[in-house]
């Protein structure tokens, strides 16, 4: 049993996780773990990230702690694969991120003064720019964003970056005006290609509106999806309790059941 091989007093430490992963991937360890690569674990890493987000949305600290642990395992696995390949170690990972955190927070670890969180963000981007310049890398704010991000996340991150570079509305009213403008352009679009183009523009400005309201667009849509799913299932239950067949109901009656389900939400 694990408890007999690893003392309970050591289970709360990160080096214990690293040693467990090393053992799993060592000769005589777990066959599945030993054959994994950076590429084969990409899906697992993505799934664990989304499970963390779901736990945050539920607001339950127990599942969140568990899912964060699962995410930490993914980091330990990638670091061990790199160690085995002679590329880097978990110590390199931790050293690099610690240096970065200290370097990009001079208002905490240095003598720089900031007025608010917005100034912290501007300093962060400025420091990132300096780091890129020192490495001989010159990038626009819209470059270097991971292309595999969900489209809503990508859009919001891109808009965050250009805003910090000074490409920004003066206030939220400009964004709301742009929403109305894009809706009207969508109404007037005459072809599928035009409608697709205008729909993309509308989604982009809606993401910008989320940013102005201090929401994450991805979170807003994910939570809306969860509400819709729960409400739809409740509506089906109400229809069944009424002795009706959902598919046979006219849209007007379906809408009535939908509104009943909506009222029953906690």
**DSSP-derived secondary structure for the chain:** -HHHHS-GGGTTSHHHHHHHHHHHHSTTS-HHHHT--TTTTHHHHHHHHHHHHHHHHHT-HHHHHHHHHHHHHHHHHHHHHHHHTTS--HHHHHHHHHHHHHHT-HHHHSS---SSHHHHHHHHHHHHHHHHHHTT----TTSS--TTS-HHHHHHHHHHHHHHTT---SSHHHHHHHHHHHHHHHHH--SHHHHHHHHHHHHHHHHHHHHHTT--HHHHHHHHHHHHHHHHHHHHHHHHHTT--GGGS-HHHHHHHHHHHHHT--
Judge if 211 and 243 occupy the same domain: no
What's the total number of domains in the chain?
3
- Is 202 in the same domain as 233? no
Low-confidence winner among 90-94, 126-130, 153-157, 188-192 (lowest mean pLDDT): 126-130
| Residue 125, domain member (yes or no) | no
Q: Are 228 and 182 found together in one domain?
A: no
| Same domain for 151 and 232 | no
The residue among 52 and 166 whose pLDDT is bigger is 52
Q: Which CATH number belongs to the domain containing residue 172 in this structure? A: 1.10.287.1080
* Residue 31 is assigned to a structural domain of this protein: yes
Model confidence pLDDT, tens digit, residues 147-183: 888 899 999 999 998 888 889 999 999 999 999 999 9
Do residues 72 and 20 both lie within one domain? yes
Average pLDDT over residues 83-95: 96
| Res. 68 pLDDT band, cuts 50 70 90 | very high
Q: What is the mean pLDDT of residues 66-71?
A: 96
Residue 114 lies in a domain: no
pLDDT the model gives residue 3: 47
Whether residue 131 lies inside any domain: the answer is no
Q: What is the pLDDT of residue 266?
A: 65
Same domain? For 172 and 233 the reply is no
> With 80 as the cut, is the pLDDT of residue 132 above it?
no
Residue pLDDT, tens place only, 3-35 = 457 888 899 999 999 999 999 999 999 999 999
Residues 98 and 165 grouped into a single domain: no
């Amino acid at each position: 049993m694990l408890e007999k091989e690893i003392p309970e007093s050591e289970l709360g430490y990160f080096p214990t996780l690293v040693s467990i992963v090393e053992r799993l991937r060592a000769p005589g360890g777990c066959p599945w773990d030993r054959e994994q690569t950076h590429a084969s674990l990409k899906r697992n890493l993505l799934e664990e990230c989304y499970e963390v987000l779901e736990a945050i949305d539920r607001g339950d600290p127990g599942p969140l702690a568990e899912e964060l642990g699962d995410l930490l395992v993914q980091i330990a696995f990638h670091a061990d694969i790199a160690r085995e390949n002679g590329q880097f170690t978990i110590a390199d990972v931790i050293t690099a991120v610690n240096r970065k955190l200290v370097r990009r927070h001079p208002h905490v670890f240095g003598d720089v003064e900031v007025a608010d969180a917005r100034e912290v963000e501007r300093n962060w981007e400025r420091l990132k720019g300096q780091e890129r310049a020192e490495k001989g890398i010159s990038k626009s704010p819209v470059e270097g964003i991971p292309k595999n991000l969900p489209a809503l996340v990508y859009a919001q991150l891109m808009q965050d970056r250009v805003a910090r570079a000074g490409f920004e509305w003066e206030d939220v009213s400009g964004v709301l005006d742009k929403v109305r403008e894009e809706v009207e352009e969508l109404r007037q679009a005459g072809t599928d290609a035009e409608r697709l183009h205008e729909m993309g523009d509308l989604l982009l400005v809606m993401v910008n509106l989320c940013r102005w309201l201090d929401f994450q667009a991805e979170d807003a849509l994910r939570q809306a999806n969860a509400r819709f799913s729960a409400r739809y299932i409740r509506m089906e239950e109400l229809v069944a309790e009424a002795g009706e067949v959902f598919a046979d109901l006219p849209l007007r009656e379906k809408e009535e059941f939908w509104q009943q389900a909506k009222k029953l939400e906690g």
